[in-house]
Amino acid sequence: MIRIVFQRRKCIGCNACVEQAPAHWVMSQKDGKSYLRKSVKKGEYYVKHISAPECEENLRAARYCPARIIRVQTF
Ligand code: SF4
């Protein structure tokens, strides 16, 4: 299984994740932070399970995120 774990509180709204993986990330008009589409809030984190073909673009989003708050975990 692969999942994305996103610590939204620390997002600085730079849009890099949206540029890398627009199918998964979108900027919120409300607070200017990014939102992980179809994710579930778990405490401080937003979590979403993804498939193997969706992994690469989200790894790119994680790599380009200057706040380092996107994790792609395989387990
Ligand atoms: S790349 Fe990181 S800091 Fe920038 S909008 Fe996305 S989650 Fe927020």
- The best mutation among 6, 14, 37 to test binding of ligand 1, ranked by most ligand atoms within 8 Å of the C-beta, falls on 14
Tens digits of per-residue pLDDT, 35-74? 999 999 999 999 999 999 999 999 999 999 999 999 999 9
pLDDT score recorded for residue 53: 98
Is the minimum distance from the CB of 58 to ligand 1 under 6 angstroms? Answer: no
pLDDT for the residue numbered 11: 98
Look up the pTM and report it: 0.96
Q: Coil, strand, or helix at residue 18?
A: helix
Q: b vs e for 17-46, b when ≥16 Cβ sit within 10 Å of the residue's Cβ?
A: bbebbeebbebeeeeeebbbeebeeeeebb
> What was the pLDDT predicted at 3?
98
At 17-45, the pLDDT tens digits run 999 999 999 999 999 999 999 999 999 99
Whether residue 50 contacts residue 24, with contact meaning beta carbons closer than 8 Å, is answered with: yes
Ligand 1 neighbourhood includes 15 CB (under 6 angstroms)? yes
Q: Which domains does the chain have, with CATH numbers?
A: 2-74 (3.30.70.20)
Q: Which atom of ligand 1 is nearest to the CA of 6?
A: 7
29: Cα separation from own chain's centroid: 16
